[in-house]
Amino acid sequence: MAVATEAGARTRSPQLKRGRSSWEARVRHEAQRLRADLACSRAANGIPSAVDSERLNRIDEHLDHADYLLDEHFKRKWPVRFATASRVYQDALASVYRASEDLVLVQSDDAVVARLPGLRAAVKTYLSADDPRREIYLLRIDAALTSAGAERLAGAARSLESTRRAAGPPEQRAGRRGRLRRTE
């Protein structure tokens, strides 16, 4: 039930069939989101390097493997599906997570930074307050966000400085402004 969209990109129909599980929807939705991010990454990066090309192929393989596991699982009769649902869910989700990890390595810095607030919210939601990992993860995410913000500010300052240099020395800029004012 794969639909070709562009240049070999495949997406899944979001429709659920009767007898399907919500965990299937979760896995398929996450795989679909990763495919969309992958298409954006391919469009933004242009021609990838050999390493990135290999990673991109591996991402496709992981997502295809997750689809295969789900498709094969739901071809079976219900007693077998009932007995193997947990294993198939874990295996399919592991494939999706591996694809997600590889995608982070090929995405632009801005795309990774854009994911950090969602990651921070997930840590706060899913890790209890007494979990020792929670504070460590939050500190690391906050440090990454602070670092990215500082880099953006530095980039904006460099851009502003180059604009000022292009406009000329301060006394020339002041003279230009003075000429534009109306005198009475």
Per-residue pLDDT of 123-164, as tens digits, reads 999 889 999 999 999 999 999 889 888 888 888 888 888 887
Q: 160 and 123: one domain?
A: yes
Structural domain ending residue among the three candidates 107, 125, 159:
107
Half-sphere exposure of 86 (CA within 13 A, CB side): 1
Has residue 113 got a pLDDT over 70? yes
| pLDDT score, position 46 | 63
Has residue 27 got a pLDDT over 90? yes
The answer to whether the CB of 172 falls within 8 A of the CB of 154 is no
Q: 69 and 120: one domain?
A: no
Residue 182 domain boundaries: 108-184
Q: 86 and 139: one domain?
A: no
| pLDDT score, position 4 | 46
Give me the amino acid identity at 44: A
CATH number of the domain encompassing residue 15: 1.20.1270
| pLDDT score, position 178 | 52
Confidence at 15, pLDDT banded by 50, 70, 90: low
Structural domain ending residue among the three candidates 49, 83, 107:
107
Per-state percent for the chain, helix, strand, coil, to nearest 5: 80, 5, 20
Q: 165 and 181: one domain?
A: yes
Q: 127 and 62: one domain?
A: no
Q: 155 and 123: one domain?
A: yes
Confidence at 58, pLDDT banded by 50, 70, 90: very high
CB neighbours (10 Å) of residue 184?
3
Question: What does the alpha-carbon distance between residue 131 and residue 77 come to, in Å, rounded to a whole number?
Answer: 41
Q: Give 104's contacts (C-beta < 8 A, 6+ positions apart).
A: 112, 115
Query: Residue 3 phi/psi, 5° resolution?
Result: -120, 125
| pLDDT score, position 182 | 54
pTM for the model: 0.63
Q: 14 and 38: one domain?
A: yes
Question: What are the tokens at 2?
Answer: 């794969």
Question: What does the alpha-carbon distance between residue 60 and residue 117 come to, in Å, rounded to a whole number?
Answer: 26
Query: Which residue reads 């992981």 in tokens?
Result: 62
DSSP state of 3: E
Has residue 1 got a pLDDT over 50? no
Question: What are the tokens at 82?
Answer: 């009932």
| pLDDT score, position 8 | 52
